[in-house]
Amino acid sequence: MTNYQKLDQLKQKLDSYRPLPVEIVKNLHEDLVLRWTYNSNAIEGNTLTLKETKVALEGITVGGKTMREHSEVINHREAIFFVEDLVKKKEPLTEWQIKSIHQLILKNIDDANAGIYRKINVIISGADHTPPDAIQVEGDMNKFINWYKNEAIALHPVERAARVHSDFVKIHPFVDGNGRTSRLLMNLELMKDGFPPVVLPVEKRLKYYESLDTAHTKNSYDMFISLIADTVESGFKPYWHVLGVKE
C-alpha cells in the first residue's frame, strides 16, 4: 500500500514554512506552469520542447510548429490559472468545473466540441480498455460526481486525486483533451488539500499508460496510485530547493 504518512509529513514540513515569501511563490509558480504545460502536452504528442514551450508562453511563435501546438500551450496555461481560481474557492468538484476546464483546453482548436460530451464512440489507441458508448457518458459522469460527493471524501487526498484522474479518463467523456483535463482535475484535488501539483514527466508516459490501463481493465489501482504518490513526493523538491531546506 502507498505510504501516505510520509506524504503527510512532507506536507506538514512545507506548511511550517507558509506563508512563503512572495518572490519564492512567483519563482515556483513560473517554473510549475512551464513544466506542467510542457509535460502534459508532450504526453499527448505536442512536439514543442521545454525551451520552445517557454518561448510560446511568452507569446513568441516557434518556427516550424503548428498553430495548434501553440494554442495547446497558451490554453493549458489558462486552464492552470482557472484551476488555481477554483482552488481558492475550495468547492467540491462539479460537472460545470470539468466542462469549463475542457473548454479552455480546446479553445481555438475545436470550439465545436469544447466543453461538450462526445456524441460518438471512441477507441483509445494502444489501450485494452474501451470507453463506454456515447449514450452512457452523461449517466456515467453523473455517477462519477455522485461517487465524488459521497465516497471520495473519505479517501486520502492523494488517493482521491488519483482516483478522480483514473475514473474520469476511464469514461473519456470528450472527443479530445481527456488526458490534459484529467491531470488538471487531479491537481485541482491535490492543491485544494495543500499538496503540490503532480507534474507527470513525459519520460514516464509508458508506465503512466500501463498503470491506467491496469486500473481500467482489472480494477486494480495500486500501480497507478503508487505512481501518482511518487510524483507528489517529487513535487516537494522544488520547494526545498528554493527554501534551502535539506530533504
State which residues of the chain have pLDDT below 50.
Answer: none
CATH T-level assignment (fold) for domain 18-241? Fic-like fold (1.10.3290)
Query: What pLDDT, on the 0 to 100 scale, is given for residue 247?
Result: 76
**pTM of this prediction exceeds 0.85:** yes
Predicted pLDDT of residue 57: 97
- Residue 3's pLDDT is what? 81
Q: What's the pLDDT score for residue 204?
A: 97
What does the alpha-carbon distance between residue 114 and residue 190 come to, in Å, rounded to a whole number?
25
Is 76:37 a contact under the CB 8 Å cutoff?
yes
| CA angle centred on 219, ends 127 and 43, rounded to 5° | 40
CA nearest neighbour of 74 among 64, 63, 89, 59: 59
Cβ-proximal residues to 120 (8 Å cutoff; 6+ apart), any chain: 134, 175
- Do 184 and 200 touch, CB atoms closer than 8 A? no
CB distance 211 to 163 below 8 Å = no
The pair phi, psi for residue 169, each rounded to 5°, is -75, -20
Given a contact cutoff of 8 angstroms between Cβ atoms, the answer to whether 224 and 212 are in contact is yes
Active site residues: 172
For residues 163 and 160, give the distance between their C-alpha atoms in angstroms, rounded to a whole number.
Answer: 5
User: CA torsion angle for 242, 57, 34, 16 (degrees, to 10)?
Assistant: 40
Q: What whole-number distance in Å separates Cα of residue 50 and Cα of residue 37?
A: 9
Under 8 Å between Cβ of 170 and 108: no
Res 1: pLDDT? 54
Domain ranges of the chain: 18-241
| pLDDT at res. 231 | 97
Task: Check the CA dihedral 42-48-52-55 and report its sign.
Answer: negative
Cell of 97: 468545473
- Going by the DSSP 8-state scheme, the letter that residue 64 receives in this structure is T
Per-residue cell: 109: 482548436
Grid look-up 530547493 returns: 241
